[in-house]
Amino acid sequence: MTTKTTAFHQIHIDAGAKMVPFAGFDMPVNYTSISEEHLGVRNDAGLFDVSHMGQFIVKGKEAINLVQKVSSNDASTLSPGQAQYSCLPNADGGVVDDLIVYRLYEDMCSEGEQAYMLVVNASNIDKDWDWIEKANTFDTKMINISDQTSLLALQGPKAIEILKTLTEVAVADIPYYEFSKGQVAGIDNVLISATGYTGSGGVELYFDKQYSQAMWDAIIEAGKPHGLVLAGLGCRDTLRLEKGYALYGHELDDETSPIAARLGWIVKSDKSDDFFSKATFSTEKSDGTASKLIGFKMEDRRIPRQGYEICDMNEAVIGRVTSGTMSPSLDHAIGMGYSKRGFTKVGSSILIKIRKKYYPAKIVKLPFV
C-alpha cells in the first residue's frame, strides 16, 4: 500500500522532524523531543499538522436523519456554527469510530437543506465512509473532502493571541466546541473551530490544501514572539492522555462500549431517533458494564504499555492497559486501562504486570492534570 502524505510533508522534513508511518500516512512524531514539545503546548503554543484526519460533508433535506442514525449523540440540538463530540456505534455495542459533528452554516448548502461535516480518524476514513454510506437511505448525499482539505491544530494558552494577529474574526469570542468562518492570513473560507485534542485550549483550522504553505508560514511567523513550537504526534498522544481523552484503537474499538469508556455523556439513548446499539447502551447505562475505564499512576518510573495486564493485589488479572506514558507535566508514569467491575474505585491499589514482574500503581481520578 502506498504511504500517503499531507501537504506539509516536505515542510516537516525540512524542519528536521522524525517521520513515522501512522494510519497510512508519513507523519512527524516529533521535531525536538516529545517532552519539550508537550511542555511547549501546555505553557505557550504548538502547531500540529493533523491533515491526515478525514472530513465528510453530509448535506440534503434529510441530512439530520442520516447523522442521527449513525451517531450516538443528539445532533438535532446543534445550531449552525456548533459542533459536538460523538461516536459511530456499530450494531454489536462497540464503536466504529469516534468523531466530531459540525452543523454547517446555511450559506454552505442549498435552500431547504442542512449540511454537516463529520471529522473522523485517519485510520478509519474508508471504514467510516462505507459504514455511513450503507446507512444512507435518506434524501441526502455524502461528499468526501478529506484529500482536498488541510487541517492545522494551533493549541495552547497563547494560541488565540497568535491567531488574532492573522484574522479579523473575533476568535477569542468563539465558545468551546463552536466555530466561525472567515479569512485567516489572507486565505478565505477558513473554518476556525474552538476544538482540539490537547486540553490546553486553542483552535483547529480547516482550509483548502492549496494554501497549506502560506498558512503554515503565516502562523509560524506570527508565533515567534509567543514561543510557538512545532508539535508532532508524539506529544499529541501524551497531551491527550494527561487529560484522559480516549484514542481510537486504544480506549475505543469495535468491541468496546462507549459506556465502559466513560463516554455515556455522548450516548443519548433517550433521543427519539433510532441509532445502532441504542437498546444495548440504554441497558448498560442502567445496569453498568462488565469493565470500566480507569486512570492510574505508577508508584515508580516504569511506563505501562498497551496490552500489559492489570492485576489485583493477589496478582489475579482484572484488566488490561490501553495507554501509558511518562507524563511530561507530572514527571510521573501514568496510564489508562479497563478493569473489571468491583476493581475501579479511586484510591485502590493495583499491580501492573510488566514482563514477568508486578509493579504497584494506584487508581486515580481522571483527568491526570
- Convert the pLDDT of each residue in 146-205 to its tens digit: 999 999 999 999 999 999 999 999 999 999 999 999 999 999 999 999 999 999 999 999
Q: Is the pLDDT of residue 311 over 90?
A: yes
Q: Is the pLDDT of residue 41 over 90?
A: yes
- What is the enclosing helix (H) or strand (E) of 235? helix 233-242
Q: What is the pLDDT confidence band of residue 2, given thresholds at 50, 70 and 90?
A: confident
Q: Give residue for cell 510521573.
A: 332
pLDDT tens column, 52-90: 999 999 999 999 999 999 999 999 999 999 999 999 999
Distance between CA atoms of 343 and 294, rounded to whole angstroms? 9
Residue 125's pLDDT is 98
Q: What is the pLDDT confidence band of residue 112, given thresholds at 50, 70 and 90?
A: confident
pTM comes to 0.97
Q: Which three cell numbers stand for residue 354?
A: 510488566
pLDDT tens column, 324-336: 999 999 999 999 9
Distance between CA atoms of 81 and 114, rounded to whole angstroms? 12
Select from 3.90.230.10, 3.40.50.1820, 3.30.1360.120, 3.90.1640.10 the CATH code of 9-51+148-242: 3.30.1360.120
Distance between CA atoms of 128 and 121, rounded to whole angstroms? 9
CA distances from 152 to 17, 48, 169, 223, 256 (A): 16, 6, 17, 14, 29
Residue 1's pLDDT is 66
Domain ranges of the chain: 9-51+148-242, 290-364
Class of CATH domain 290-364? mainly beta
DSSP string, 238-293: HHHHHTT---BTTTB-TT--TTTTT-GGG--TTSSS--TTHHHHHHHHHH--SEEE
Distance between CA atoms of 60 and 142, rounded to whole angstroms? 9
Distance between CA atoms of 276 and 43, rounded to whole angstroms? 41
DSSP string, 144-164: E-GGGEEEEEEESTTHHHHHH
